[in-house]
Structure 1
Amino acid sequence: MAWMWVHQIADPAAGVAVYQTYGGSGWTVYGGTSVASPLIAAVYADAGTPTTSYPVTDVYNHTSALNDVTTGATTTCSPAYLCTAGAGYDGPTGLGTPNGLTAFTG
């Protein structure tokens, strides 16, 4: 399920539908960083007031609270970890997808 979540967000053809009301012309689909960044910002907001000085480091201390995405790829490039999902940190999925708020709470 976690891979599917990442795949749907990353793929502009199957990403997230957004209705444009400012400077746009109705429904359009976005994917990749344009969707993932605001979603992760929302997860941090849901997690509440940070309890550490550098909340971005909290996820590295709580990787067990993330779904590690281990399959899939974005394209062919070098080094492979930048484009191919695998165990632990990788380029396409970082440390993984949120599994609740624990990884973002300090």
Structure 2
Amino acid sequence: MALEKGALDKATIELMFMRVSQINGCAFCLEMHGKALRESGISNDKLDQLAGWRVSNAFSERERAALEWAESVTLIATTGAPDSAFEALQAHFSDAELPI
């Protein structure tokens, strides 16, 4: 995948994949990405709060920007990808890291 070949760190990539898997309801993917996140050092508490990341204070602004973009791209057919989501990415990630 393109994300895995860029400069974005693996933990952020896996966090995005995990959120996309939650939205898509893929049990296999949830297990796979959950395992990868635990191996990267994410706490179970933080992982438990992922579905409610918007109201949780467990996530950094950088992680929030990545999660918002992941959701936007996953739901693009119904909600579009707002400029504000991309602007948040640009504020927290370098050009080499941008997960687009």
TM > 0.5 fold call: no
Q: Which has the larger radius of gyration?
A: 1
TM-score (norm 1): 0.27
TM-score (norm 2): 0.28
Greater RCO, 1 or 2 (C-alpha within 8 Å, sep 6+): 2
Would you tell me which structure has more strand in proportion to its own residues?
1
